[in-house]
Amino acid sequence: MRVLHTSDWHLGRSFHRVNMLGAQADFIDHLVTTVREREVDAVVVSGDVYDRAVPPLAAVELFDTALHRLADLDVPTVMISGNHDSARRLGVGAGLIGRAGIHLRTDAAACGTPVVLADPHGEVAFYGLPYLEPALVKGQFGVERAGHETVLAAAMERVRADLAARAPGTRSVVLAHAFVTGGEPSDSERDIAVGGVAAVPAGVFDGVDYVALGHLHGSQTITDRVRYSGSPLPYSFSEANHRKSMWLVDLGADGTVGAERVDCPVPRPLARIRGRLDDLLADPELERHQEAWVEATLTDPVRPAEPMARLTERFPHTLSLVFDPERAPEDPGLSYARRLAGRSDQQIAEDFVAHVRAAGPDPSEQAVLRAAFDAVRVEGEAL
């Protein structure tokens, strides 16, 4: 069976104020063409269909168009909700839509009930595990500790139990939206650390033939059977070195996996340039970036006059301007942003407590802070 694995469409998202709806429509065209020309048997979309719980109307219309075009191909499609989606909104009408061959899996309780498809070699069970917010689903899975690994492990127990009850030789595909250990994140994924450590080991998915992951925006291989397709379009300059693509997966009669990357159309390349303004404007090596979307980091010790206006004369698609003045390493004036780089909300809050009272929070106070962050994040996910 030939499966096209994609994820993280983020319909409705912009890129540094650039409307990406046209590029997203081009991607849908490319997806449909790939399904038709490469004789795809099934499409899987591993979450973050939309960029937010209440997407703009134009994004909903594009999604509606995508559903109709996929249904017209008469090729089954399985989709799950991601942490950016509202599972309840995305899942409205799932029963009716399923009759057209578009199978929306947004209910955590149904993760052990697969979409069963068949090819000349037998049946393939597709299990959709929507994004599982630990604090919201731990009761459904009967686990005491609200952690990402705990709830995913419980979901996979249901998957393996259902698979064990099926005919010998039944092949299996799992769709999941999670941060799996070994994956390389970028700046454009929403943090899912609420409820404990975000990363889960790939071993959680043992026992199935292929795991189609979503959440991380870079296409990557965790193991031969566990892969991220990545987002089809860039959504932050941290993705400048990404090759945007989908996975074309051939699932053999015996469950063997072969995978090929299918490149996606990208409206413009991304470029991150760094240096003093005069050097950036004169460096002939940067000629190749004149048609790219550019993030420029200026290292001038003193902020130059009208830097954006001067940059856009040479790089007309400059979208982001960052100042990082050259300083001695021991300079106490390092930017606030640099001091916070790589630190979680919890760590920043604990540092603030230590700053204002000269002593960090004790374990009970740390637990209060953690509970407060969890409550805010859970409330946002439930909207």
Class of 2-263 in CATH: alpha beta
Domain extent listing, the chain: 2-263, 270-326, 340-382
pLDDT at position 196 over 50:
no
The tens digit of pLDDT for each residue in 276-320 reads: 999 999 999 999 999 999 999 999 999 999 999 999 999 999 999
Predicted confidence (pLDDT) at residue 18 exceeds the cutoff of 80:
yes
Tell which residue, 246, 133, 231, 242, has the closest CA to residue 191: 133
What integer is the mean pLDDT of 121-135?
96
* CB-based contact 154:143 (threshold 8 Å): yes
Cα–Cα distance measured from residue 282 to residue 331, given in angstroms and rounded to the nearest whole number: 29
Q: What is the pLDDT of residue 2?
A: 98
Most trustworthy range by pLDDT among 188-197, 209-218, 365-374: 209-218
Q: What pLDDT is attached to residue 125?
A: 98
Strand order in the sheet with 220-223: 115-119, 122-129, 171-177, 210-214, 226-228, 220-223
Position 371 scores a pLDDT of 85
Residue 332: which pLDDT band, with cuts at 50, 70 and 90? Answer: low
Residue 123 scores a pLDDT above 50: yes
Residue 30 has pLDDT above 90, yes or no: yes
272 and 247 Cβ atoms separated by less than 8 Å: no
**How much is the pTM?**
0.84
Look up residue 25 and give its two tokens: 């429509």
Q: pLDDT value at position 330? A: 55
Q: Average pLDDT, stretch 252-263?
A: 97
Predicted local confidence at residue 289, as pLDDT: 97
Average pLDDT over residues 344-369: 83
Over residues 259-275, mean pLDDT: 97
Q: pLDDT confidence of 195, banded at 50, 70, 90? A: very low
Residue 186: CB atoms within 10 A of its CB come to: 19
Q: Mean per-residue pLDDT for 16-41?
A: 97
For the segment 9-37, the average pLDDT, to the nearest whole number, is: 97
Q: Which pLDDT belongs to residue 194? A: 40
Beta-carbon-side half-sphere exposure of residue 243 (alpha carbons within 13 Å): 6
350: three-class secondary structure by DSSP: helix
User: Is residue 370 predicted with pLDDT exceeding 90?
Assistant: no
Q: How far apart are CA 15 and CA 91, in angstroms?
A: 27
The whole-number pLDDT of residue 28 equals 98
Q: At what angle do helices 148-164 and 134-141 cross, to 10 degrees?
A: 40
Does residue 57 have a pLDDT over 90? yes
What residues have CB less than 8 Å from 329, skipping those under 6 apart? none
Mean pLDDT score of the chain: 92
81-114 pLDDT tens trace: 999 999 999 999 999 999 999 999 999 999 999 9
- Residue with the larger pLDDT of the pair 186 and 55: 55
Q: Over 80: is that where the pLDDT of 197 sits?
A: no
Distance of CA 310 to the CA centre of its chain: 35
Distance between alpha carbon 223 and the CA centroid of its chain, in Å?
18
pLDDT at res. 31: 98
65-83 pLDDT, tens digit per residue, is: 999 999 999 999 999 999 9
Residue whose C-alpha is closest to residue 162's, from 202, 111, 206, 104: 111
Quick one: which of 368, 288, 360, 280 has its CA closest to 323? 280
